Structures are given as C-alpha cells and as structure tokens.
Amino acid sequence: MPIRRSQRARGWASAATDRRVEQGLGALAVAVLVFIAAMLVTVFAKAWPSFSHNGLAWFGPGGDVDTQLRAMQEVKALPGHSLYYFHAWPLIWGTLLTTVSAVVIALVVSTLAAIFLTEFAPEPVRRTLDPVIRLLAGVPSVIYGLIGILVLVPYINEHVISEGRRESVHYVVQLNGADVMTATLILTIMILPIMVAISAAALAAVPASWREGSLALGVNRWRTIWRVSLHAARPAIVAATVLASARALGEAVMLAMVAGGRGFAPNLLDGVTALFEPVRPLAATIFQNSEGLEIAPLAHTIYAIAAVLLVSAAMLSLAGWTAKQRVRRYGIRV
Amino acid sequence: MSAFGAAGLAPAAAPPPGTAIARAPRERTSAWPLLDRLAYGMCWAVGVGLCLIALGIVLYMLVKGVAYLRPSLLVEHPAPSAVQSQSGGFLDPIEGTLIVSAIGIALAAPSGIALGTWLAEYRRPAWLARSVESAVEIIAGAPSVVLALFGLLIFDQGYLGFLSQTSAGGGVYGRSFLAAGAIMAVLALPLVVGATREALTRLPNQLREASHALGRTRATTIRRVLLPAIRSDMATGVTLGLGRIIGDTAIITILLGVSLTTEPVGSTPLIGALRGTGSTLTSYVYANSPAGEGSAPQKAYAAAFLLLLIVLALNGLVTWLSNRGRGGGERGRAFALLRFQWLAARPWR
C-alpha cells in the first residue's frame, strides 16, 4: 500500500511538533521563574526608599505607627523627622502575636482532629467531617470577617470585657471587642482545614504493619497513635504548620475587619488585658492603606511592608515545600 | 456461630467450613488509663466541634440570608444612600464576579494545565523543574495583597495603558477588570498546576508505553491519551481555583477600585467594561460591612449569603468530580483503551 504524501509529511512534522511542544511548555515554566524574579525585584525597588531612610530601625519600635502613616497621607512631616520616618514594630508585633498564637492553637486542634478522622471516627461521622473541612477551607475570608465583626466583636464588647478592665487602660487605648483574641480565634478556624487535611493524609499513609506491630505488643490504640503514627507523620505535620503560618501571615481582609485596625503593640506583661487590646497586622495595614498609593512616601512604605511579607511568606513556603519533599519520599502525597 | 453469621450474609460470600475468621473482641476504651481516655474524649470533642462550627456558620448565614435576600436585590444596581432600603441591590457585583472569574479561569486553566504537564511529563533539565516547583509553591504561599500590589506596579506602566484607563495628564490608572482578572489567574494557577501534576504522576506507566508502542510521539500521547484520562482531575483543580478567585477580596479592592457600580471606559461595549472598574460580591460585602464605608449590614448579609451559596455549590461540584475521578482508575483505563482503538484505526493522526 503506497504511503500517502500527506501522511509522510505529517510524520515528519509530528517529530518537529513534539520538539516544539516541549520547548513551548518549557518556555512557560521559565516564565513562572521570571514572574517570581520580577515580583521580588520590582517590589524591592519600590520599597527601597523606605528602607534606606530608616535603616534597620524600620523594624524597631519608636513612636506611634498610625501618626507616622497619617503624616505621610497628609504629606506633612512629623517635627524633626523626614516624611519617610516609619518604625513598624507595632505592626510586626501584631502579626507575630496573631499568627503564632493561631498556629499554636491550630496545631493542637488539627492534630487531634486528624487523629479522630483517621482512627476513631465511625464511618458516617468521617463522611460528614470530610466535606465539613472542605467547606471551612472554602468559605471566603470576607464572610469570616463579616461574622466576626457583626457577631463576635459586639458579643465580646458587651459580655466579656468588664468595665474595670476598660477603665484600667482607657488612657492608652479603647477596648471595643475588635482585638487580638477575636482575630486569633477566627484565624485559627481559617487555617485549621489545611492543617487537618495534610496531617490526616499523612496519618492515613502510615504503614498498617507498624501500627499492628505496636498493637500486637499490647499497646492500646491511643498510645499506638501517639508513639508510632504521630512520630511517623511528623514531617507532614511540620509541613502543614509551616504552610498554615504562611496562610495566616498573608490574611488581610478578615484581620482588617476584626483585629481592631489600630497600630498598637499590646504588652503581654499586662496579662489577660493584652488579649482585648487592638492590633493591626502587616497585611491588614497594606489593605487599609491601599487608597493613598499616589502619595510617594506612603506608597514606598506600603511596598516596604509588602516586601517584608513577601520574603517571609516565600521563606515559609520553601520550608514547607522542603518538608513535603521529605514526606513524599515515604510515598505520601500531600 | 459461624453458620449463623454466614446465613445472614449473601450465600456466595460464605467461607468454606473450618475457616471461620477469629476476631479479637473490640478493645474497650474504658479499660484505658485515665490520660488516654481524656485524649480520646478530646479527639471526639474536636471532631464534633468542627462540625458544629461549620453548621453554625451555614445556619447563621442561612437565617440572615433568608431574612434579607430579596429577588429584587439581584436585578437592581447599587445606589449610594445612607438608608439601607434605598441603597439598591447587587446586580453590578454579580456581573463583576462573573467577569473576573471568567478572565481568571480563562488565563489560569490553560497555563496551569500546560505547566502541570511539563512538570509531570518532561521535567528537563532537572534543575529547572525543581526551581519551577518551588516557584509555584512560592506563588501559592504569596499573600494576595502582595500579589495585588505587584499587579498595580505592572499595570500602571505607560505601555499597558490600553488595559485600564489613562488620565488627562498621561498617567495610567492601572485598575481594571483585566488587571484584576490577570492577577486572579496567578492566584488560581498553583491549584490547577497541583491537580494536573498529581493526576498525571498517578497514571500508570503502561498507558504511556502502549501509546509509544503505537508509534505516537510524546506530544500526541499527552494530548490524545493522558490529558483525556485525567479530565475530571483537571476539572477539580479548575473548580478549586475558581473558588479561590471568587472568595478573594484583597485583589479586588486594590486592583478594581472602590466604586460599587460597573464603570466602563469609553463607548466600546465589551472592551470598555473590561477596561473599566467595578466591584464583586466580596468587595460589596466588605464595603457594606461596618469596616467599609457604607454600613448596611442587611445588604452585606444578603450578598454574603449568595457568596456562601456559590461556595457550597462549588464544593459540591468538587466532591462530585473527585468521586467520578476515584472510579477513574478503572474508568480512565477503559477510556484510554477506547482511545487506543480509535488511534490505531487512524494512523495519520
């Protein structure tokens, strides 16, 4: 049977097509790297004036952040300082406070939930819990913020904060229910699903023979989980924690709504009162000042905050990715 | 005993006599030490607590939504007014959500699938593959406010003025549906890439080998055999990306401006709207919450309820797709076999 001309031509063409497809896809992959590089370079270039005016003191405490930001908005330098004068410590402290406490609470709760999901939950409960966790992960942050600001904040304001507590700090700060505690609570619920999902996947992938060995030695189910499964799944739990921290760090909208929106640094030595004091984390500060980016000093400062966030989130993502690679070696897909 | 047990089951499943399976009595929790029993109780409390929280959120939004959502809200434009009954509905935000997610998915789906394919099938050179993997991970972890600020830096360049509006002085505004949609695509990209890559690595190697044995090139194998076999996984990734896009507020408020109504630029119907600014459901909820400018909690509740309904629907879609995908091990293989027959009959393709 004679080979048709077009057929042979296509045969030739298809080898070339193969090469071209690989090159095209490779070009796209390079484009992703270019995107990351461009993002780092441009954000840092835009942020540089703010860092160079303040030096390392940018990260330190000094004065009221809100006054400094307002001075930039009104283009009226504070007496004795340049227009770029900015010390971000209260914002950084607010970010650390909300992120770290949310992640610590979520670590405990998500580990228990993952154990429950893989070991103890009866089949019908497991089948409801799976979609529930996916739903909690899918609810937009603005809805969490709305419920927070319309339900939790008024409740805490009216029923939890006592008059005495309000009086004790009224010359420094107003307590109105939008505070560290509300923000941490909602943030915990927001980062829980991702942690539960990764930890549960890892626990489920622990080889059954390891657990059976422990059970055969007469160790009860809880201790088996605690000593065998949890230890085996540790890298995955580390990965989940790190990835959730990155998520918590970048949360802006919900925190702008319920954290109090005031650049205040609560003093932990005040005890419980510190929980009821307002903060404004870094991402929320960007979100709330996104209107005035036409004013050069304010724009440089906001981009400086963005640069700090970008670098810390990137570090956390890379750390999480490295931890996940270790899990992958055991054949667990997360 | 075993005869009784077997009689209850289907006759075909009855074990041959003498092979009754001995099961240890289920270990009772009451025999555990106190500390272990406490931990067991905490596990249950956490599991039930999570269900209660989710139920609480859905029920609360349902009550508020049913109370404040009126059909007229869906077809009225937002109007600036201090009185809640006169501030209009949210037709424009619904349009905005549709436009932004359409642009975002149109950009993210093809590039995400292509990137996932490259990561799973080619990965040459290896160092490039590893750095691209970590780059995708960085994008997935980057805060959306930072992505939005970066978008603003790109789109207010002079030569990109055609994507948004140019002011009289020659300055480029940098905020438009196109800009917001493009950055939204970046937000959705890691989810599509992850889903595609995972599904491709899970496919059995025989599929590729059989296709190569038929004389197909790599590109043809991917297009005609592998990608059709993971169709539902790709759809899952795209749906997850869509959920991320619909739920994001930061990119919208920074890259789409603050006006609640759709404000087209120029007189060209479609292009004008895409170059213009507007709002989406998320930015509408934020603007009408006590944290935003116009405080109209009833409108915020109604719009948030609609948003939650969309999210629930997308969630259901993901569950349905992944259930289909789970059968996909078998079904995907059968499907691939059909494709081989189809390909074998057409050697010129």
pLDDT tens for B186-242 read: 999 999 999 999 999 988 888 899 888 888 888 888 988 899 889 889 999 999 999
Considering only CB atoms, A250 lies closest to which of B144, B246, B253, namely: B144
Q: What local confidence, expressed as pLDDT, does residue B15 receive?
A: 55
Buried b (16+ CB within 10 A) or exposed e, B88-121: bbbbbbbbbbebbbebbbebbbebbbbbbbbbbb
Pairwise CA distance, residues B271 & B269, whole Å: 6
Chain A residue numbers touching B47 (CB-CB < 8 A)? 113, 116-117, 120-121, 125, 129
Higher pLDDT: A78 or B119? It is: B119
Average pLDDT (A1-11) is 48
How many other CB atoms sit within 10 Å of the CB of residue B141?
Answer: 26
Place of tokens 């005993």: B1
Q: What local confidence, expressed as pLDDT, does residue B6 receive?
A: 41
Considering only CB atoms, A131 lies closest to which of B114, B286, B319, namely: B319
Q: What local confidence, expressed as pLDDT, does residue B11 receive?
A: 47
Q: What local confidence, expressed as pLDDT, does residue A80 receive?
A: 83
Q: Which of A37-41, A294-298, B52-56, B303-307 has the lowest mean pLDDT?
A: A294-298
* CB spacing of B145 vs A250 below 8 angstroms: yes
Q: What local confidence, expressed as pLDDT, does residue B27 receive?
A: 62
Above pLDDT 70, what percent of chain B? 85
Q: What local confidence, expressed as pLDDT, does residue B330 receive?
A: 60
Pairwise CA distance, residues A315 & A313, whole Å: 5
Domain extent listing, chain B: 86-344
Q: What local confidence, expressed as pLDDT, does residue B84 receive?
A: 72
Q: Which of A5, A10, A21 to mutate to test the interface with B (most CBs of B within 10 A)?
A: A21
Handedness of CA B250, B252, B254, B258 (dihedral sign): negative
Q: Which fold has domain B86-344?
A: MetI-like fold (1.10.3720)
The pLDDT tens digits for B265-278 are 877 778 888 888 88
* CB spacing of A43 vs B42 below 8 angstroms: no
Task: Give the burial class of A29: count Cβ atoms within 10 A of its Cβ; 0-12 exposed, 13-18 middle, 19 or more buried.
Answer: buried
Minimal Cα distance from A193: which residue of B? Answer: B50
Q: What local confidence, expressed as pLDDT, does residue A324 receive?
A: 82
* A7 pLDDT higher than 50: no
Q: What local confidence, expressed as pLDDT, does residue B327 receive?
A: 52
Q: What local confidence, expressed as pLDDT, does residue B20 receive?
A: 60
* A5 pLDDT higher than 60: no
Across chain A, mean pLDDT equals: 88
CA distances from B170 to B143, B174, B265 (A): 31, 12, 15
Higher pLDDT: A319 or B333? It is: A319
Above pLDDT 90, what percent of chain A? 53
The pLDDT tens digits for A221-231 are 899 999 999 98
* CB spacing of A28 vs B114 below 8 angstroms: yes
How many other CB atoms sit within 10 Å of the CB of residue A222?
Answer: 21
**Which CATH code for domain A65-329?**
1.10.3720.10
Q: Which of B32, B42, B43 to mutate to test the interface with A (most CBs of A within 10 A)?
A: B43
Considering only CB atoms, A249 lies closest to which of B31, B143, B290, namely: B143
Distance from CA of A116 to the nearest CA of B (A): 5
Minimal Cα distance from A307: which residue of B? Answer: B146
The pLDDT tens digits for B161-202 are 777 777 666 677 788 899 999 999 999 999 999 999 999 998
Pairwise CA distance, residues A317 & B1, whole Å: 57
The three-class DSSP label of residue B263 is strand
Determine contact, residues B273/B99, Cβ cutoff 8 Å.
yes
CA distances from A153 to A139, A159, A179, B63, B308 (A): 19, 10, 8, 19, 21
Q: What local confidence, expressed as pLDDT, does residue A63 receive?
A: 83
- ipTM of this complex: 0.90
Minimal Cα distance from B215: which residue of A? Answer: A11
Distance from CA of B3 to the nearest CA of A (A): 27
| Residue A42 pLDDT class (50, 70, 90 cuts) | very high
* B329 pLDDT higher than 60: no
Average pLDDT (B13-35) is 66
* A100 pLDDT higher than 80: yes
* CB spacing of B146 vs A222 below 8 angstroms: no
Counted across chains A and B, CB pairs separated by less than 8 A come out at 258
Q: What local confidence, expressed as pLDDT, does residue B326 receive?
A: 59
The three-class DSSP label of residue B88 is strand
* B9 pLDDT higher than 70: no
Pairwise CA distance, residues B171 & B176, whole Å: 14
Chain B residue numbers touching A333 (CB-CB < 8 A)? 198
